[in-house]
A and B are shown apart, each in its own frame.
Chain A
Amino acid sequence: MLKEVFRKPTKWPIMKTLILKDIDDLIYGSLGIIIFISFFIGGVVAIQTALNIDSPLIPKYLVGFTTRQSVILEFAPTFCSIIMAGKVGSYITSSIGTMRVTEQIDALEVMGVNSLNYLVFPKIIALLLYPFVIAISMYLGILGGWLAAVMGEYTTSADFIKGLQLDFKPFHVLYAFAKTMAFAFILATIPSFYGYYMKGGALEVGKASTTSFVWTSVVIIIVNYLLTQMLLG
């Protein structure tokens, strides 16, 4: 499938329109849910950390430190990608699957259009912007943690910020974005595969979306483990 995706490209003016549409659908359309979840999960991480370290021997700035590490290393890149597998992955599988069921993909092929390039390539390119979504998620997760910690009086703003700056390793951000790029590719290709090669009718479109979500999530979790072992282990 991948070989065909990159073969015989569609005319650039048409491809540009498709890429912009997919950026709108896949990236811009996902910002709302990512902003909402990141902000509140960041808050919950801060509160949970604060409640579990009420010993006077453990400094309060650890709330900020733990929030930063949790959000940057795992929550933003991995947890958000699982959410995206549900939102974006299902959308990709069902939209391509519906095109398959209604013979729109056959129509493209009969016209001489490389349907895999036409349908999948713009999604891969659009999801190159996925790291920006994750950057927003990281920022808002930490902001949510800071607000929850300070407003809930679990720690002071100064302590939280001290924790945020404590033992900061820029490589961790690089690691998070490396994972994000791998997840972006997975999010574009696995759901496309399940949509493109599905057979049957409307019921099968629903089943394909579910299967696509399960396998996208499984592959993300496995790749997450492998990349973590390779880059941090």
Chain B
Amino acid sequence: MIEVRNIHKTFGENHVLKGISTLFEPGKTNLIIGQSGSGKTVFLKSLLGLHQPDEGEILYSNRVYSEMSEDLKRNLRQEMGMVFQGSALFDSMTVVENVMFPLKMFSSMSESEMKDRADLVLKRVNLKDAHHRLPAEISGGMQKRVAIARAIVNKPKYLFCDEPNSGLDPKTAIVIDNLIHEITVEYDITTVINTHDMNSVMEIGEKIVFLKDGHKAWEGSNKEIFKTDNEAVTNFVYSSELFKKVRQMYLEERN
């Protein structure tokens, strides 16, 4: 569980996060949405500990981040997995070496135990025949699967994903969304996804936090987002004709 209490972040004159509070529960896919420049990336980086908020607190399973020593912070990061927008795979390592990397760095497993664990998670993300290929030799969708495998190999408590669907075709994007959702439920992870993808919002958004100009403008689930009258949310989520029709159909069905 991650609890965010009234965090503020300023860069020079630019007040990016303006008092955001929310709660991300384990076993749920939590989505952060909002327009470009709304503060999503700064918010996610604050959750990752890459930015220190100027005010407010972030609590990881009731542990206050700002009160931790540097060593405890590094240890906390070992409980986190991150799927980057561009996958951020180590390009000099093969797929299996990438997945084994967190284990090599932090576990006391033997080489064979690490290989078994890597095989298991690669199988879990449906990648079976790419173990010895380099990241440059596999497709974008496969790279995302490897990134997910690397993020979960060390059994993290918290999983963060930055635009996990960017650059993927719609079919692969849905597969990646479902995979993240399944893993979240299966391993009871607190997952936070930063996304622009409205398909993701509709498919897996069990909790959605909508940011606007650094404020939390709305929060709720993918079911509630159909019903909301919040103008900022409806202008953003239903900006395309397709989603306008989807919402209309949903509301007509309910009536």
Is the Cβ of B82 less than 8 Å from the Cβ of A107?
Answer: yes
Is the Cβ of A110 less than 8 Å from the Cβ of B50?
Answer: yes
Assess whether A232 is interfacial by the CB under 8 Å rule: no
Is the Cβ of A110 less than 8 Å from the Cβ of B86?
Answer: no
State the CA gap A114–B74 with chains docked (Å): 9
Partner of B88, one of A8, A14, A103, A114: A103
Min CB distance, B71 to chain A, in Å? Answer: 8
Is the Cβ of B77 less than 8 Å from the Cβ of A104?
Answer: no
B78-111 near A? 1/0 per residue, CB < 8 Å: 1010101110111100000000011011100000
Assess whether B134 is interfacial by the CB under 8 Å rule: no
Find chain B residues with CB under 8 A from A203 CB. Answer: none
Is the Cβ of B105 less than 8 Å from the Cβ of A14?
Answer: yes
State the CA gap A49–B243 with chains docked (Å): 82
Is the Cβ of A104 less than 8 Å from the Cβ of B82?
Answer: no
Is the Cβ of B78 less than 8 Å from the Cβ of A111?
Answer: yes
State the CA gap A178–B181 with chains docked (Å): 59
State the CA gap A104–B102 with chains docked (Å): 13
State the CA gap A2–B142 with chains docked (Å): 37
Is the Cβ of A14 less than 8 Å from the Cβ of B104?
Answer: yes
State the CA gap A20–B113 with chains docked (Å): 25
State the CA gap A98–B77 with chains docked (Å): 23
Partner of B82, one of A11, A102, A110, A114: A110
Min CB distance, B135 to chain A, in Å? Answer: 10
Q: Which of A68-117 contact B (CB under 8 A)?
A: 98, 102-104, 106-107, 109-114
Question: Chain B interface: which size bin?
Answer: 20 to 34
Find chain B residues with CB under 8 A from A109 CB. Answer: 50, 77
State the CA gap A8–B71 with chains docked (Å): 9
Find chain A residues with CB under 8 A from B85 CB. Answer: 103
Partner of B77, one of A11, A13, A14, A110: A110
Find chain B residues with CB under 8 A from A13 CB. Answer: 104
Min CB distance, B157 to chain A, in Å? Answer: 13
State the CA gap A14–B103 with chains docked (Å): 11
State the CA gap A109–B50 with chains docked (Å): 8
Assess whether B75 is interfacial by the CB under 8 Å rule: yes
Partner of A112, one of B74, B90, B104: B74
Find chain A residues with CB under 8 A from B101 CB. Answer: 111
Is the Cβ of B102 less than 8 Å from the Cβ of A110?
Answer: no
* Given the contacts A11-B105, A14-B104, A14-B105, A112 and B75 also touching, CB distance less than 8 Å: yes
B209-225 near A? 1/0 per residue, CB < 8 Å: 00000000000000000
Is the Cβ of B78 less than 8 Å from the Cβ of A103?
Answer: no
Assess whether A30 is interfacial by the CB under 8 Å rule: no
> Residue on B with the closest CB to A109?
B50
Min CB distance, A180 to chain B, in Å? Answer: 28
Is the Cβ of B88 less than 8 Å from the Cβ of A104?
Answer: yes
Assess whether B120 is interfacial by the CB under 8 Å rule: no
Q: Which of A1-58 contact B (CB under 8 A)?
A: 8, 10-11, 13-14
Is the Cβ of B88 less than 8 Å from the Cβ of A107?
Answer: yes
State the CA gap A184–B86 with chains docked (Å): 34
Is the Cβ of B50 less than 8 Å from the Cβ of A106?
Answer: yes
Assess whether B179 is interfacial by the CB under 8 Å rule: no
Min CB distance, A6 to chain B, in Å? Answer: 15
* Given the contacts A110-B82, A113-B105, A102 and B74 also touching, CB distance less than 8 Å: no
Assess whether B48 is interfacial by the CB under 8 Å rule: yes
Min CB distance, B83 to chain A, in Å? Answer: 10
Is the Cβ of A112 less than 8 Å from the Cβ of B106?
Answer: yes
Q: Which of B21-38 contact A (CB under 8 A)?
A: none
Min CB distance, A95 to chain B, in Å? Answer: 9
State the CA gap A107–B50 with chains docked (Å): 11
State the CA gap A104–B85 with chains docked (Å): 11
> Residue on B with the closest CB to A104?
B88
* Given the contacts A11-B104, A14-B105, A102 and B86 also touching, CB distance less than 8 Å: yes
Is the Cβ of A103 less than 8 Å from the Cβ of B84?
Answer: yes
> Residue on A with the closest CB to B106?
A112
Residues of A within 8 A of B (CB): 8, 10-11, 13-14, 98, 102-104, 106-107, 109-114
11 A-B pairs (CB sep. < 8 Å): A11-B104, A13-B104, A14-B104, A98-B91, A102-B86, A103-B84, A103-B86, A104-B88, A111-B77, A111-B105, A111-B106
7 closest A-B pairs by CB: A112-B77, A103-B88, A107-B88, A112-B74, A110-B82, A112-B78, A103-B84
